[in-house]
Amino acid sequence: MKFTKMHGLGNNYILFNQLDSPVNVLREKDYPELSRILSDVNFGIGSDGIILVSSSEKADFKMRIFNEDGSEAKNCGNGLRCVAKFLYDNLYTKIPNFTIETLSGVVWVEVEVDKNTTVEYVTVDMGKPKLLKGMIPMVGDPFVSAINEPYTFGETEYKLTCLSMGNPHAILFSDNVHEVPLEEIGPIIEHSRFFPDRVNVGIVHVKNRAEIDYRVWERGSGITMACGTGACASVVAAALNNLLDINQAILVHLPGGDLTIRWDERGSVCMRGKASYICHGELDKHFRLKEY
Ligand SMILES: N[C@@H](CCC[C@H](N)C(=O)O)C(=O)O
């Protein structure tokens, strides 16, 4: 089983290309375990999860993503940019814009190549944010949204703005993204009773009306260097709290680098950023690295 390890701003995934092999050596029930084993930084390869790329009946290609803990997510912004780069660089498409099916729907991507004609930047139309509690999902009236609503965790109250970008995000605002102990409150909020499917937790500092800082605790993976859907969710959350001017490109600073996000309130959220290779390799039938 050949793999390619890639990252989008340090958010790193082990990608399995299932486009060429009609006989899939992996079975559906193997994926969660494979993700847990390979993601382990001490005994595996080390990653935030695995990504499967295959053909689709609804779009040009299909992507599935499993977190480090083996849970399957419906969407992954950084993963989509990696998959788009992989597909174009490896000549699975010669057209710079194409569609990818995810479990949360079909997205449109566009690649920009550098002077070596390999993909440098990818823009993804991440679709419309889902703002109603029932669609996130979170507890409470399913037909209202959670904008700067107080929630208590233990002794501490946090004001959360929650929405789904295909996967659920809870955003809280702070004057400094490093001031809030994300390692402590991330898992508490992720597993709290307010979010039946758990949640990704983000801290946002609004620097000015076109620029934010963002740190994330990812559902199923913990602290990561970046989260694409989370960056989109942060911009939407800040706009809903009237802290940003929408209909313009917002610069999002993440620990692993920058993304540009644009949300037209009537429509989709568009994300533009880089994707990169880390290494290629091969696994044996016990999911261990093949040595050469
Ligand atoms: N890092 C991703 C999101 C991956 C899935 C997430 N942890 C979840 O379970 O919802 C991104 O770039 O969007």
The CA distances from residue 106 to 32, 61, 101, 124, 208, in Å, are 23, 9, 4, 11, 33
pLDDT at residue 115, rounded to an integer:
85
Whether residues 111 and 150 share a domain: the answer is no
Residues 11 and 113 placed together within one structural domain of the fold: yes
Specify the ligand 1 atom closest to the Cα of 224: 1
Q: Give the CATH number for residue 67.
A: 3.10.310.10
Residues with Cβ within 8 Å of residue 106, at least 6 apart in sequence: 58, 59, 99, 100
Most informative mutation of 65, 232, 252 for ligand 1 (most atoms within 8 A of CB): 65
Please check whether residues 152 and 35 belong to one and the same domain.
no
Q: Judge whether 98 lies within some domain.
A: yes
Torsion of CA 198, 200, 201, 205, to 10 degrees: -160
Q: For residue 134, give the amino acid letter.
A: G
In a domain, 291, yes or no: no
Which residue do the tokens 């501490």 mark?
A: 156
What Cα–Cα distance (Å) separates residue 40 from each residue in 67, 70, 220?
Answer: 11, 11, 13
pTM of the model: 0.96
β-pairing, 61-67 vs 49-54, is antiparallel
pLDDT for residue 292: 61
Same domain, 198 and 111: no
Confidence (pLDDT) at 77: 98
The answer to whether the CB of 76 is under 6 A from ligand 1 is yes
Tens of pLDDT, residue by residue over 150-186, are 999 999 999 999 999 999 999 999 999 999 999 999 9
Question: What's the domain range around 118?
Answer: 2-124+275-282
Do residues 64 and 38 share a domain? Answer: yes
Instruction: Report how many domains make up the chain.
Output: 2
Please state whether the peptide bond connecting residue 150 to the residue before it is cis, i.e. omega within 30 degrees of 0. no
| Same domain, residue pair 255 and 145 | yes
The active-site residue out of 76, 82, 232, 270 is: 76
Q: Active site includes 227?
A: yes
49 inside domain: yes
Q: What pLDDT sits at residue 287?
A: 79
Q: Is the CB of 240 under 6 A from ligand 1?
A: no
Q: Quote the CA–CA distance of 90 and 178 in Å, as a whole number.
A: 39
Say yes or no: 91 and 178 in one domain: no
Q: Is the CB of 104 under 6 A from ligand 1?
A: no
Whether residue 91 is found in the same domain as residue 150: no
- Residue 140 falls within a domain, yes or no? yes
Question: CA–CA separation, 255 vs 71, rounded Å?
Answer: 24
- Pull the structure tokens for residue 120: 């440098």
Q: Are residues 94 and 61 in the same domain?
A: yes
Measured in Å, residue 5 CA sits from the centre of ligand 1 at 16
Answer yes or no: is the C-beta of 161 below 6 A from any ligand 1 atom. no
Report residues of the chain scoring pLDDT below 50: none
Pocket-testing residue among 198, 221, 252, 261, ligand 1, by greatest number of atoms within 8 A of Cβ: 221
Q: Cβ atoms within 10 A of the Cβ of 183, count?
A: 10
pLDDT tens, residue by residue, 215-252: 999 999 999 999 999 999 999 999 999 999 988 999 99
